[in-house]
Amino acid sequence: MGLLALLLLCLSLLFSLSSGEVSQTLGVCYGTLGNNLQSLSKSVQLIKALNAKRVKIYNADPEILEALKGTNLQVSIMVPNELLSNISKNQTLADVWVRSNVAPFIPAVKIRYLLVGNEILSSSDEVTHISLVPAMHRIRASVKAMGFKKIKIGTPLSMDVLESSFPPSNGTFRPEFSGRIVKPLLQFLNRTKSFFFVDVYTFFPWASDPVNIKLDYALMSATNITYIDPGTGLTYTNLLDQMLDAVVYAMKRVGFPDIRLFIAETGWPNGGDIDQIGANIYNSATFNRNIIKKLTAKPPVGTPARPGIALPANIFALYNENKKTGPGTERHFGLLYPNGSNIYPIDLSGKTPESEYQLLPMPTNNEPYKGKIWCVVAEDANRTDLGSALGYACGQGNGTCDPIRPGGKCYRPNSLVRLASYAFSSYWAQFRKVGGTCYFNGLAVQTTKDPSYGACKVPSITL
C-alpha cells in the first residue's frame, strides 16, 4: 500500500506540473474600445455570468481593477507597448509601474499574469522589439522584490511570429526574431516557469484560403477530415491543434521543448463586412462552444504533440467593440452585444450540454458574395470629418477622384456625401488588393446598393 500511495502521489504531482492551477478554466478578454459598453461593475457581473474564471485586460486600468476586487477571478494585466523602451533601460521606472499598478490591488485582486506589451513582434517598431525581453526582466525584478510570488510574467505574440507553420513539425520562428529576441524570451520563460502566450485564430488562415482549408476543420467540428503530419506521423482533426503544435515545434527547434502554452486570445467573429466570408453568429458560436468543450474536458485532451496537457485560454472578447479600427470583423468578436445581452448562449465552464442551446441562425456568408460591392459614407458618419477623409482618398493618386473634380461626370459641389462616397469607392477599388480598406476611421461602410447617379458610374469591387 505504501508503494501504491507513493506512485499515486507521483502521478498527482506529474499531473499538477503538466496542467497547473490553470488546468481547466477559461477566461474572457475584456476590451473597452467602445463608446456604448456597460459600466465596469455591470461588466464584471456579466463576466461572472458567463462562468469565466479569469479575465484579461489590455492595460492596468485602476477603475477596472477596483471593480474586480473580491471577485476571485484570475486577472491578466498589461504593460502598454509604448512604455517598454523606457522600462527596458530603467529599473526605477519598472519599480514605479509595478508599485503604482499592481501593489495597490494585491491581494484583493488575484493578479496572476503580468503581460509585457501586446503582439510586439507584429509591429514594425524595431526599438520596441529589442526592448521586449529586457523590459520583461525589469518588470519581473520589480514583482519579485515586492514579494508577489504568484504573478507570472509573459508577453502575448501572434502567429505571425512564425515563418513556417505547416506542417506543424516544420514550425519555425521568423529568422529576424529567432536568435536575438525569441531565444532570450524562451530562456526567460523557461527559467521563470512561465508560459508562451500566443494569440491563435483559426478564422484568419481559413478566410485567406477557404478552398484548401475546410470550414469544419477550422471550426473544430469536422468528423471526417484528418491531416497526418509527414514529419511526425501525428494525426490532426482540427486547425487549432495544428497551429498550436507549430508553436510547440518552433520552440523545440531552438532548444525549448517543454515551455507551456497559454492561449492568450482565440475566438471567431460573429459579423463583419460584406467582403469578409464566414463571419457570422453560427460559426462564432460553433467555434467558441467547440473550443470550450475541448479545453474543459476531463482529463485534459491537449494536442497531438502534447497529449493530456491542459491548455489555459481566454476567449476574445467580452463585447462587440464599435471603436476598434480595421475590417468589420474587428468590431464583431464579442460574446455580448454592447447592451450586455448574449449574441448567442455560451457557458465558459463547459457544463452546459449542447442539447440545451437553441438553434442558431444558419449562415449566409460562408462563401464569397457574388456581385458588386461599393464603399460609401455611413449613415451616422460625422459630416465635419468627411472633408479630410475625402482629401486622403483623393490624395492617393491614380486618378482616384478625377470624375468628381469640376467638370467631371460625378461633380456635385453641393453634396459632400456623394463626393465622399465616390472617393471612398474609387480608392477602395484601386487599393483593396494592396491593403486598402473601406473604413476611413468609421466614416465608410460597404453596400451592395449601387450609389451611381445620372451619368456618374461609381467604381465597385467584385470578390
pLDDT at 1: 39
Which residue among the candidates 176, 265, 330, 379 is catalytic per the annotation? 265
Which residues, in sequence order, are CB contacts of 101 under 8 Å at separation 6+?
A: 60, 62, 77
Q: Which helix (H) or strand (E) holds 110?
A: strand 110-116
Q: What is the pLDDT of residues 163-192, one digit of tens each?
A: 999 999 999 999 999 999 999 999 999 999
Determine the average pLDDT of the residues in 390-405.
90
| HSE of 200, CA atoms in CB hemisphere, 13 A | 28
Q: What is the pLDDT of residues 336-393, one digit of tens each?
A: 999 999 999 999 999 999 899 999 999 999 999 999 999 999 998 988 999 999 999 9
Beta sheet of 461-462, edge-to-edge order? 444-447, 372-377, 461-462
Could you tell me the three cell numbers for 206?
481559413
Percent of the chain with pLDDT over 70: 95
pTM comes to 0.92
pLDDT at 14: 43
User: How many Cβ atoms from other residues are within 10 Å of residue 1's Cβ?
Assistant: 5
Confidence of residue 138 (pLDDT cuts 50, 70, 90): very high
Which residues, in sequence order, are CB contacts of 346 under 8 Å at separation 6+?
A: 50, 285, 288, 289, 292, 335
Q: What is the pLDDT of residues 253-291, one digit of tens each?
A: 999 999 999 999 999 999 999 999 999 999 999 999 999
Active site residue 265: yes
Alpha carbon 332 to its chain's center: 12
Confidence of residue 298 (pLDDT cuts 50, 70, 90): very high
Determine the average pLDDT of the residues in 72-81.
97
pLDDT at 5: 45
Mean pLDDT estimate for the chain: 93
User: Which residues of the chain are in CATH 3.20.20.80 domains?
Assistant: 22-356
Which residue among the candidates 63, 82, 119, 356 is catalytic per the annotation? 119
Percent of the chain with pLDDT over 90: 89
Confidence of residue 23 (pLDDT cuts 50, 70, 90): low
Please tell me the distance from the alpha carbon of residue 227 to that of residue 218, in angstroms, as a whole number. 12
Q: Which helix (H) or strand (E) holds 187?
A: helix 183-192
Q: What is the pLDDT of residues 121-135, one digit of tens each?
A: 999 999 999 999 999
Rounded to 5°, the CA angle 390-417-395 comes to 10
pLDDT at 260: 97
Determine the average pLDDT of the residues in 84-95.
97
Please tell me the distance from the alpha carbon of residue 138 to that of residue 133, in angstroms, as a whole number. 9
Determine the average pLDDT of the residues in 71-92.
97
Q: What is the secondary structure of 206-259 as a DSSP string?
A: HHH-TTTS-HHHHTT--SS--EE-TTT--EESSHHHHHHHHHHHHHHHTT---P
Burial 274-309 (b: 16+ CB within 10 A, else e): bbbbbbbbbbbbbbbbbbbebbbeeebbbbbbbeeb
Could you tell me the three cell numbers for 406?
469640376
Residue 18 has pLDDT above 60, yes or no: no
pLDDT at 281: 98
- Helix or strand or coil: residue 58? coil
Q: What is the pLDDT of residues 299-339, one digit of tens each?
A: 999 999 999 999 999 999 999 999 999 899 999 999 999 99
Looking at residue 354, the DSSP 8-state letter turns out to be: G
Residue 65 has pLDDT above 50, yes or no: yes
The angle that helices 126-145 and 91-101 make with each other, rounded to 10 degrees, is 60
pLDDT at 327: 92
- Helix or strand or coil: residue 399? coil
Closest C-alpha to 333, from 258, 272, 247: 272
Active site residue 119: yes
Residue 226 has pLDDT above 80, yes or no: yes
Report how far apart, in Å, the C-alpha atoms of 357 and of each of 34, 299, 442 are. 28, 24, 34
Q: What is the secondary structure of 120-144 as a DSSP string?
A: GGGS--HHHHHHHHHHHHHHHHHHH
Residue 40 has pLDDT above 80, yes or no: yes
Radius of gyration of the chain (CA): 24
| Residues 152 and 191: beta-carbon distance below 8 Å | no
CATH of 22-356, one of 1.10.3470.10, 2.60.120.10, 3.40.50.150, 3.20.20.80: 3.20.20.80
The angle that helices 386-394 and 416-431 make with each other, rounded to 10 degrees, is 40
